[in-house]
Structure 1
Amino acid sequence: MTGTPRTALTIAGSDSGGGAGIQADLRTFFACGVHGLVAVTAVTVQNSLGVQGFTEIPADVVTAQIKAVAGDMGVDAAKTGMLATAEIIDAVAKTLDEVHIGRSGETPFVVDPVAASMHGDALLREEALEAIRTQLFPRATLVTPNLDEVRLLTGVEVTDRDSQRRAADALLALGPQYVLVKGGHLYDDPDCVDLLSDGFQYIELRGPRYETKNTHGGGDTLASAITASLAQDLGVPDAVAEGKRFIERSVADAYELGAGVGPVSPFWRLRH
């Protein structure tokens, strides 16, 4: 690569185990050829066995980080991950409008509505769910919930392809331009089938299901790979398809680390 790469901003929490959060986002941005920018929202205490606790960053510090990088370096696409509190979500939403990120501006914005870790540990205060619905979703180019997050946000229990489509419609009613309902937790399906919709088209993205417990950071990696592609001017369907290919390879190359769940690995890209 020559010249200055495109930039992608992650607004998310730090994972002390390095498998998810801003650490996963930055690894993925690098592997996808974009320069990563960061606004840290929380510091977690976690490892491969789970989350032992977290501390939120003050909302004004979160917004100051966003303004600092957007005003100086520019942002070609942005994503959110763990936002922790309604106060942080409200502050982020207002700041994104100020720096023209999201549907009110020209910069693509991906919302990964992180509500719990894969171990079931809470990463979002209860009052923050409504803030995600009302403050972030209407500003989002794309939202990327897993099935547990779909249930928390809409009440829809996804058990098959039909309910996956109902979930997409319920999420679109909250205001995003596109939704990606991830199907990795539909374990009775031999494939992993994600559903992308803008309310007019329903696109199934089918991929292999790998027999591995090491999937820590998978949702973050998918969302950040999509964000990297959006930063490089791909349209949403193409960016999602590229992100799907990226996470498939990352899960295939996942590795053991610690006594619990190991991380997915974007390192495969370095070999190609």
Structure 2
Amino acid sequence: MKKVLTIAGSDSCGGAGIQADLKTFSAHLVYGMSVITSVTAQNTQGVTDAYDLPVEVIEKQISAIFDDIKVDAVKIGMLSSSEIISIVANSLKLHKAQNIVLDPVMISKSGFNLLKEDAVKTLINELIPICTIITPNIYEASLIVQMDIKDLEDMKIACKKIYDKGARYVLVKGGHLNDDAIDVLFDGQDYYQFKGSRIKTKNTHGTGCTLSSAIASNLALGFDIVESIRRSKNYIQNAIENSFSIGMGVGPVDHFYAFRGLEVNKYER
């Protein structure tokens, strides 16, 4: 069985972060492991607080995994400070991690800052150069390259600028644009477009975490980058189509839509 590690923050309501990553890994039938960087207090209505774990504890979590287990892919999510970014980058270089998927989590849907402003430069200088692929949304890409992104051509320009910062592949997600939900991949030479249908639902909590975790899972399973993204886009499309409400705000996607309808008795001994 392939083994995938997530390094990210915890979401107390289970829709995003570590919890979404582990659900996505399980749905792809890979073994999920976790390094928790921050603990957030949040629900469907937003994030109310966050506590960063000491960098020494984060480093020890990473070492505990790599010293014992072969890691086939790594997904990186919420790293809120320069110190955390540096320790994660150095640890992954030390352990020669492969198939690193970086989801540069910067702000929650409710507007809570999950990445300190002074940490963006550290992310650019230390983390982007070691990742296999980075998957920013329009807002995150805009912060990284310091430009407004208004359309597909702007997305391509942003892809190239982020690629020049050291990433092997760049996937800029277009879900926040008003047109069709088109994501753009740049591999240093060619651009690829992945189009998804825009779904009328408010329940999109954890979509970015889920997509990046799906890409990490598919890379671990041996698919190339384009096929990994294609499969992951199909997965998140179906997960959003089957999303549901669990509270008074933005609900989660359904990570296990493909397993609904299985008889519970099947698992009885």
Q: TM-score, normalised by structure 2?
A: 0.95
Query: What is the aligned counterpart of 1:215 among 200, 204, 209?
Result: 204
Report deviation, 1:89. 0.4
Write the distance in 1 (CA, Å) between the matches of 2:27 and 2:197: 22
SS at match of 2:109: coil
Which digits, 9 at most, give the CA deviation of each residue in 1:211-261, with x for residues without a partner? 001000000000000000011111111111111111001110110111110
Alignment partner of 2:237: what SS? helix
Three-state SS of the structure 1 residue aligned to 2:110 is coil
Tell me the amino acid that sits aligned with residue 176 of structure 2.
H
Q: CA deviation at 1:44?
A: 0.2
Give 1:130 shift.
Answer: 0.7
Per the alignment, residue 104 of structure 1 pairs with none
Secondary structure at 1:156 match in 2: coil
> Which residue type is aligned with residue 195 of structure 2?
R
Q: 1:122 aligns with which of 105, 110, 113?
A: 113
Match of 2:243 in 1: 254
CA distance in 2, matches of 1:33, 1:230: 13
Write the mapping of 1:1-272 to structure 2, written as runs, cut at 5 A: 5-101=1-97, 107-187=98-178, 189=179, 191-271=180-260
Query: How far apart are residue 269 of structure 1 and its match?
Result: 2.0
**Could you tell me how far apart the structure 1 residues matched to 2:205 and 2:167 are?**
26
Can you list the C-alpha shifts for 1:93-148, whole angstroms capped at 9, x where unaligned?
110011111xxxxx110100000011221101111111110011000100000011
Q: What CA distance in whole angstroms lies between the structure 2 residues aligned with 1:269 and 1:22? A: 21
Query: Where has structure 1 moved over 4 Å in runs of 4 or more?
Result: none
Q: Separation in 1 of the partners of 2:165 and 2:46?
A: 31
Q: Which deviates further from its counterpart, 114-123 or 176-185?
A: 114-123
Q: In 1, distance between residues paired with 2:111 and 2:232?
A: 24
Partners of 2:60 and 2:70 in 1: how far apart? 14
Q: Tell me, in whole angstroms, the C-alpha distance in 2 between the residues paired with 1:91 and 1:269.
A: 37
Count of paired positions: 261
Gaps of 5+ in 2: 263-269
- Aligned-pair identity in percent equals 43
Q: Give the alignment's Cα RMSD to 1 decimal.
A: 0.9
Question: Quick one: distance in 1 between partners of 2:68 and 2:111?
Answer: 38
**Partner of residue 266, structure 2:** none
Helix, strand or coil for the counterpart of 2:256?
helix
Q: Extract unaligned runs of 5+ from structure 1.
A: 102-106
CA distance in 2, matches of 1:204, 1:64: 39
Shift of 1:177: 0.2
What is the one-letter code of the residue matched to 1:93?
A: A
TM-score of the superposed pair, with normalisation by structure 1: 0.94
> Are the equivalent residues in 2 in contact too, given 1:182–1:195 (CA < 8 A)?
yes
